[in-house]
């Protein structure tokens, strides 16, 4: 399991021994994750020029002075990682974030609803003995909670607006 913390931000901001230490530490963090966890990534991909314009419009102190070249680097590293790492697999979905907030929200909800439905269906297809065998007796409770949450998320995502007020 790999994440953008290493493949994007680690590579963009660290080098040499610092990157090696980060890589070692990150591998240990990931090693502690449950092996049956299916990680998915949702990439809100915006053109670097669009991202730059939005940052300028927000005028946040922490975003001031970020060069366009850095935004382009992050975009390239995201593309290399997400589009090149696992071709033909469903480890990520990309949403066109160049559009307006409402259109992006609709797309995000659509993707998350699909993932939540898939997780609920996977749990439903697993027998209780498989789950207990994978996780031990306490795992049954954990998976039941995950199933409940996935089902609820799938139901709610279809009815929420981006401000949380419903439709």
Map 113-131 to HEC letters: HHHHHHHHHHHHHCCHHHH
The pLDDT value given to residue 30: 75
- Asked if the structure places residue 106 within a domain, the reply is yes
Q: Which of 59, 54, 60, 7 is nearest to 30 (CA)?
A: 7
For the four alpha carbons of 158, 159, 162 and 164, in that order, the dihedral sign comes to negative
105 belongs to a structural domain? yes
Strands (E), 23-163: 41-45, 92-96
In a domain, 3, yes or no: no
- For the entire predicted model, the pTM comes to 0.70
Lowest pLDDT segment from 16-30, 105-119, 139-153: 139-153
pLDDT: which is higher, 58 or 159 = 58
Q: Is residue 152 part of a domain?
A: yes
Strand blocks (E) in 31-83: 41-45
Residue located via tokens 């314009």: 53
103 lies in a domain? Answer: yes
Residue span of the structural domain in which 154 resides? 99-167
Tell whether the model's pLDDT for residue 136 goes beyond 60. no
- The number of domains in the chain is 1
| 82 class by beta-carbon count within 10 Å (0-12 exposed, 13-18 middle, 19+ buried) | buried
What secondary structure letter does DSSP report for 82?
H
Q: Specify the 3-state DSSP secondary structure of 88.
A: coil
Mean pLDDT value of segment 17-33: 83
Residue 63 DSSP label: G
On whether residue 122 sits in a domain, the answer given is yes
């Amino acid at each position: 399991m790999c994440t953008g913390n290493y493949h994007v931000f680690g590579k963009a901001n660290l080098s040499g021994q610092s990157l090696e230490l980060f890589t070692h530490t990150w591998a240990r963090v990931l090693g502690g994750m449950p092996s049956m966890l299916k990680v998915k990534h949702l990439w809100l991909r915006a053109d670097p020029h669009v991202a730059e314009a939005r940052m300028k419009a927000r005028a946040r102190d922490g975003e001031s002075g970020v060069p366009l070249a850095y935004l382009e680097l992050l975009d390239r590293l995201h593309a290399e990682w997400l589009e090149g790492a696992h071709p033909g697999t469903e480890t990520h979905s990309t949403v066109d974030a160049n559009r307006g907030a409402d259109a992006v929200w609709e797309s995000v909800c659509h993707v998350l609803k699909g993932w939540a439905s898939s997780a609920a269906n996977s749990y439903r297809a697993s027998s209780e003995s498989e789950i207990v065998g994978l996780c031990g007796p306490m795992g049954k409770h954990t998976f039941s909670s995950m199933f409940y949450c996935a089902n609820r998320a799938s139901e709610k995502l279809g009815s929420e607006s981006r401000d949380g007020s419903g439709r």
